[in-house]
Structure 1
Amino acid sequence: MTDGNGGVSRRAFVRTAGGLTATAAATGTASAQNESGSGSSGGTTHTVDMTDGLVFDPDSLTIAPGDTVEWPNVGSVGHSVTFYDDGIPEGATYFASGGFSSEEEARTGWSNGEGNVAGGESVSHTFETTGTYEYFCIPHENAGMVAEIEVVEGGGSSGGGDSGPSVPQVPDTAKTLGVATVFSMVATLGLAFFFLKYGGDYEEELEA
């Protein structure tokens, strides 16, 4: 089953994954360079490793608009980072390692030795448009090397070593001090109540 660009449909290969081996897949030779969309400054950078196990790690990530994703190749087998044309939000900037402007160009470029991210190299992209982005590695698409990124307001990363907004933690010393303060207040109120209730009777008994 093929897509409109003559490539293997991701929906088909997910169900029939398998076939390529690591030794036969590293066909690209062009040096990959860091690339990014027109991103805004101040966003968080997330990391998705490309491994010799033919996976993106993590294969699912949730980020915020303006965040950047970096894909380092932590192994020795060549990979690509290639968006599906129909797997990105409307109006979003297309991205593929090698600087291609469409999935078809990326596939053609790979066959000509372009777009390869060799071991030790990396590419990156800044995401501005909210929505779901589906992408894949051209030489290992049939092996199931696909992933997705969800861009939502507020972020809420589900992987890549990043975490959501931190919750302020109360130091143990502050907790202890708070407990002691409350106990002192309760004790003081208790004593005040006792003297107010029984203080007059006690003085009358002494006068008698």
Structure 2
Amino acid sequence: MTDGNVDMSRRAFLGAAAGGAAVAATSGTAAAQTEEPDFGGYLDGIDGGYEDLRGESEVTIEVGAAGNGGDLAFAPAGIWIDPGTTVTWEWTGNGGGHNIKMEEGPASLDSGPAVAEAGTTYEYTFEEADAGISKYYCSPHQSLGMLGAVAVGGDVATITNEPEGGSNLPQVPDSAKALGVATSFAMVATLGLAYFFMKYGGDYDIQE
């Protein structure tokens, strides 16, 4: 094998290794997709964010957090919790008077009249009977987007949440983890072959 052929063989194997790495990287990104509760569009376009708080026995939500054109948000606006979790809504004192009222769902949320005083709290423990999705709002600021929702338990409808900037990535089914492992193995094997042929050469001559 000539030096030129050796270089071309090495480049070929390194190119294959790079391709394997790219596939593995794509699979890794796809596998990072997560499931979130499907709030049915109730929280679309509003501020406050979402947090998966399963595993927590106590959760706090700010009432009057920054958002929706003022201090008119629940933060986080959407949460996912386990049955038995106690949720405490705590008033920040910003954005005027707020309260908690039910829109729909299995829970029975009602904090009473709107209150503006900082440090005011309202607690509710979500039991098995509250499993599902409960949607609520602040009555003085409902039209401004001060909305919230609580998903309870594992038996709720979900949607796939893609990583930021991942909207153009290929969709991967539930077997994404297995695919990621397989492609990672392929990448390692290809790199091993590339190292072997770079060090010891090979019989893969390229005829000119």
**TM-score bin, normalised by smaller chain:** 0.3 to 0.5
TM-score (norm 2): 0.42
Tell me the TM-score normalised to structure 1 length. Answer: 0.42
Return the index of the structure with the highest Cα Rg: 1
